[in-house]
Amino acid sequence: MTLCPRFSSGLPVLAALLLALGTLAGCGPNPPEPSDDTLSALSVFPADVQSVSMIDLQRLKEDAGISFFGERGIQLTLLDSDIVFDPLSREQRADLNTFIEASGFNPDTDLQSVYVAASPMGETVEMEAPLLVLNAQFERDRLAASLADATDLVTPVDTESDMPVFAFADAERNANEARADDRRMALLDDRRIAIGSPADIGALLDRMQSGTGGFEASADDRELIGYASANNAAWSVIRTMPEQMGNIGEMLDGDASTWQERMARVATVTQQIGIGVSLTSEDVQARLTLAAGENASDVRSVLRGLASGAQAYDDLSEQQRTFLQDLEINDTGRFVHVDMRSTQRALAELMISAR
C-alpha cells in the first residue's frame, strides 16, 4: 500500500517523509542471516550493484490476498473488498492458458519471488536498466521449448547453450531485428530466470560461466539486508547513497529552517538505507533502517525531535497525530530504525485526512 499525503504547509516535510518511507518499511531488533535463496539471487548481480530489492509474490498472495497472475488477472484484497483487474484480452488470456498447459509453468503458483538490481535516483552504474531475477519452479528444457514456439511473445536468441536466451517480441518491428533497448530473458537453471537488457544479460551470463565478478555481500551488507528482509514480503536496500545526498547541506540557503537543516544533517551522514514491509489483508508492519555509523545516536535524536515537534502543529488531523505518536525510532549499533505498525483501515483514514 502506498500513500501519497499532502500535508498542510505548516507541517514539516519530515512527516510526509516518514509516512512515505514508513509505509514501505519489517520488524525485529536482531536481523537473521539472509536466506540462501536471497544470496543466490543476488550473486548474479554486478559486484558494484547499488540497489537491490525483493518482492515475495507467494507471501503477498497468502498473507495479503494480492495476486498478480491469477485466473482473473490482478487481484487485491483491501479493507475486506476484492479488487480485480485483468490487463489481458480474452484472446490473450486464452493464449496464456495454452502456454501454461504446454510449458507446465504457471506464474500464479510457480513464480515465488522477484529480485531487482537498479540504480537509485538516476545514479550511473554498470547497468542499462533494472535487472530482474525471478525465483520460480519450472522445468527449464520444457519451458525453453514452449518459449521457442511462442513467437508472438519472444524470439529465440540462443537456445543451444545451457542457459537459453530469448528476446521479447515487439509488434512494431521485425521479430529478428535486434535493438539495444531490447529486454531479454535467460533461463539460468530450474529455479531462476533473468530479465534485462542485452548487455546486462550478456554480462550476467559471463559472470555465471566464469564464477567471478558477481555480487558478494559483505558483513555490513548482510546485516542491512537482514534487517530489511526479516520476515518481510517486500524489501529494498540502497547499498551506496547517491553522491547528491552528501551535498544536501550545501544546497540549503541561509534562510533554511531548523527542520530543513536537521534533515540535511540526517541525509549527509546516512550511508545506506534499508526498507521492508510485511502486510496481511488487515495489518501493515513496516521498518525504515538508516545506516549512520558513529552518528546513529545523533540521527535517532534528530528524528525523534522532529517527529515530536511535528505533533505540536495545530492543523494536524487526529489520524496524522496518532501516526506520528505511534512511530518508534531507535538505534542499534550503527543503525537507526523507524518502525510503524498499523491497520489498513487506519492507513486509509490517514490518507483521506491528508488530502
pLDDT of residue 103: 92
Cα gap 293→303, rounded to integer Å: 16
Cα gap 313→188, rounded to integer Å: 55
Amino acid residing at 98? T
What does the block give as the cell for 312? Answer: 505540536
Q: Sign of the CA dihedral 181, 148, 131, 21?
A: positive
Q: Is 167 left (phi over 0), alpha (psi -120 to 50) or beta?
A: beta
* C-beta separation of 235 from 51 below 8 A: no
Cα gap 316→310, rounded to integer Å: 9
pLDDT of residue 311: 82
Please classify residue 307 by burial: count the beta carbons closer than 10 Å to its beta carbon, then call 0-12 exposed, 13-18 middle and 19+ buried.
Answer: buried
Helix (H) or strand (E) holding 305: helix 296-310
Question: Of 287, 305, 283, which is closest to residue 64 (Cα–Cα)?
Answer: 283
pLDDT of residue 165: 95
Q: For the whole prediction, is pTM greater than 0.85?
A: no
pLDDT of residue 228: 92
Dmax (CA) of the chain: 68
Collect all residues with Cβ–Cβ distance below 8 Å to 273 and sequence separation of at least 6: 237, 238, 241, 288, 289, 290, 291
Cα gap 139→282, rounded to integer Å: 36
Cα gap 235→7, rounded to integer Å: 26
Within the chain, which residues score under 70 in pLDDT?
A: 1-31, 78-81, 120-128, 170-181, 243-257, 353-355
pLDDT of residue 179: 56
* C-beta separation of 300 from 271 below 8 A: no
pLDDT of residue 172: 56
* C-beta separation of 140 from 154 below 8 A: no
pLDDT of residue 127: 54
Question: Of 75, 22, 4, which is closest to residue 352 (Cα–Cα)?
Answer: 4
Owner of C-alpha cell 538508516: 290
pLDDT of residue 328: 94
pLDDT of residue 13: 38
Amino acid residing at 349? E
- At 350 the three-state DSSP class reads helix
